[in-house]
């Protein structure tokens, strides 16, 4: 089959590597435009080493982009970690259609921050889906799904890198084999179970210490590593990572620092104690929370995030 791969980053590069290892014919790669500072996307870099043509349109709405894509005469198009909107007409060009990777068990958690929301909402399970994209957002028929348990200490980062990344590459490979054999299903999504959430950004990452401790803990894990759940201070946003949680009755006001240990800053919340392992101040990179507490003169009894 003549395959066009649309994707980016390490996931896109790994998908291309696996396809080539299986002697698939990848006729072209589409990826995002180069980042400021001259950083080359890993997918572009790997494709260039293999002599595969690379295209970097600023978008997919222009007719000339579609015409160039049509000239490639793809049998199959694979979307591997795509953040741009690709119009439905691109999926109608390949003789065998197009398939797309999504890091959730669709129809739950449609949208661009599926992993984050699975953690934030306290899901016990998530997974990857390969589906046939259409005009909607993550609404096309299902081809293949793989599930994984979300452990109590998982973050968005650990779920992706330890599970959803490798599972996704494996699922793409299996899907290509099913398509080649003519056995790839098209299972309609159950719209009664569909959810859609917005991007996980600063609009949803602000910590409200008055919420149940489990919810606060889930928010911090779901925003780790990006964008980082935060509180506002006079010095700007302070973001938290590598959180821990223990359920117990706490009498102190929510947000109060209970202790500062080598393991992190312990903070009160309704129904439990949250330990903040790392901190990223408004200026500078991540540091140990205990180190930050020293430089910021934090002490037990201080209400974290309260403006003074």
pLDDT digits (tens, 9 = 90+) for 120-172: 999 999 999 999 999 999 999 999 999 999 999 999 999 999 999 999 999 99
Residues in the chain: 308
Residue 207 has pLDDT above 90, yes or no: yes
How much is the average pLDDT of 236-263? 95
Distance CA 33, CA 110 (A): 25
How much is the average pLDDT of 260-269? 96
The domains found in the chain, sorted by start residue, are: 2-193 (3.40.50.170), 213-295 (3.10.25.10)
Of the chain, the percentage scoring pLDDT greater than 90 comes to: 94
H-helix or E-strand spanning residue 255: none
- On whether the CB atoms of residues 122 and 214 are closer than 8 A, the answer is yes
Residue 308 has pLDDT above 50, yes or no: no
**C-alpha atoms less than 13 angstroms from C-alpha of 74 in its C-beta half-sphere:** 27
How much is the average pLDDT of 196-223? 97
Distance CA 51, CA 127 (A): 33
- On whether the CB atoms of residues 272 and 258 are closer than 8 A, the answer is no
Among 210, 231, 222, CA closest to 281: 231
Segment 71-85, tens digit of pLDDT: 999 999 999 999 999
Distance CA 292, CA 257 (A): 13
Token pair for 160: 């992706």
Of the chain, the percentage scoring pLDDT greater than 70 comes to: 99
Q: What is the pLDDT of residue 197?
A: 98
Segment 179-194, tens digit of pLDDT: 999 999 999 999 999 9
Please, what is the average pLDDT of the chain? Answer: 96
Residue 101 has pLDDT above 60, yes or no: yes
If pLDDT is split at 50, 70 and 90, which confidence band does 306 have?
A: low
Residue 37 has pLDDT above 90, yes or no: no
**Does pTM surpass 0.85?**
yes
Residue 265 has pLDDT above 70, yes or no: yes
Helix count and strand count (H, E) for the chain:
8, 13
The answer to whether the Cα torsion of 296, 297, 300, 302 is positive or negative is negative
How much is the average pLDDT of 279-288? 94
Among 261, 275, 271, CA closest to 304: 275
If pLDDT is split at 50, 70 and 90, which confidence band does 36 have?
A: confident
Residue 38 has pLDDT above 80, yes or no: no
Distance CA 64, CA 243 (A): 48
């Amino acid at each position: 089959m003549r395959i066009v791969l649309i994707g980016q980053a390490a996931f896109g590069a790994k998908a291309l590597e696996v396809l080539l290892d299986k002697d698939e014919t990848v006729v072209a790669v589409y990826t995002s435009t180069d980042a400021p500072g001259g950083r080359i996307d890993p997918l572009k870099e790997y494709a260039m080493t293999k002599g595969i043509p690379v295209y970097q349109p600023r978008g997919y709405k222009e007719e000339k982009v579609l015409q160039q894509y049509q000239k490639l005469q793809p049998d199959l198009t694979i979307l591997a970690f795509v953040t741009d909107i690709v119009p439905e007409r691109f999926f109608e060009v390949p003789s065998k259609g197009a398939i797309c990777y999504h890091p959730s068990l669709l129809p739950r958690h449609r949208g661009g921050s599926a992993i984050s929301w699975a953690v934030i909402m306290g899901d016990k399970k998530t997974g990857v889906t390969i589906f046939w994209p259409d005009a909607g957002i993550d609404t096309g028929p299902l081809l293949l799904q793989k599930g994984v348990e979300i452990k109590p200490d998982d973050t968005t980062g650990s779920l992706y890198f330890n599970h959803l990344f490798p599972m996704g590459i494996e699922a793409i490979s299996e899907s290509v084999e099913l398509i080649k054999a003519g056995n790839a299903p098209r299972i309609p999504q159950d719209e009664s179970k569909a959810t859609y959430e917005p991007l996980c950004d600063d609009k949803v990452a602000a910590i409200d210490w008055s919420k149940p401790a489990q919810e606060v803990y889930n928010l911090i894990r779901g925003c780790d590593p990006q964008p980082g759940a935060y509180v506002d201070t006079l010095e700007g946003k302070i973001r938290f990572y590598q959180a821990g949680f223990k359920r117990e009755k706490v009498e102190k006001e929510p947000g109060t620092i209970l202790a500062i240990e080598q393991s992190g800053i312990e903070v009160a919340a309704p129904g439990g104690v949250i330990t903040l392992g790392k901190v990223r101040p408004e200026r500078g990179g991540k540091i140990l929370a205990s180190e930050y507490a020293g430089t910021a003169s934090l002490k037990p009894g201080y209400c974290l995030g309260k403006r003074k």
